[in-house]
Amino acid sequence: MKTQEVIIEPGRAERHYWRDLWRNRELLYILSMRDVSVRYKQTALGTAWGLIRPLTTMLIMVFVFSKIAKLPADPGVPYPLMVLGGITVWTFFSTAFTQISNSVTLNSNLVTKVYFPRLLMPLSSVAVSFLDFLVSLGLFILLAIWYRFVPDWHLLLLPAFIVMALLASFAFGLFFAVVNVKFRDIGQLIPFIVQVGFYVCPIAYSSRLVAEKSNEWWAPFYWCNPLVGIIDGFRWSLLGERAYFNPQSLLVSATIVGVCLFLSLYFFRKRENTFVDDI
Cβ atoms within 10 Å of 156's Cβ, excluding its own: 10
Q: Residue 265 is inside which H or E element, if any?
A: helix 247-271
pTM for the complete prediction?
0.89
* Whether residue 228 has pLDDT greater than 90: yes
Q: What pLDDT score was predicted for residue 145?
A: 93
Cβ atoms within 10 Å of 228's Cβ, excluding its own: 21
| Distance in angstroms (rounded) separating the CA atoms of residues 197 and 69 | 19
181 with 105: CB under 8 angstroms?
yes
Long-range CB contacts (within 8 A, 24+) of 108-112: 108/279, 111/275, 111/276, 111/279, 112/276, 112/279
Burial class (CB in 10 A: 0-12, 13-18, 19+), 275: buried
| pLDDT bucket at 8, cuts 50 / 70 / 90 | low
| pLDDT bucket at 272, cuts 50 / 70 / 90 | confident
Intra-chain end-to-end CA distance of the chain, in Å? 33
Q: What pLDDT score was predicted for residue 274?
A: 84
Cβ atoms within 10 Å of 104's Cβ, excluding its own: 26
Q: Which among 99, 139, 140, 106 is positioned nearest to 123, based on CA atoms? A: 99
| pLDDT bucket at 15, cuts 50 / 70 / 90 | low
234 with 85: CB under 8 angstroms?
yes
| pLDDT tens-digit map of 176-210 | 999 998 888 888 899 999 999 999 999 999 999 99
List, as one string, the DSSP characters of 34-95. Answer: HHHHHHTTT-SSGGGHHHHHHHHHHHHHIIIIIIIS-PPPSTTS-HHHHHHHHHHHHHHHHH
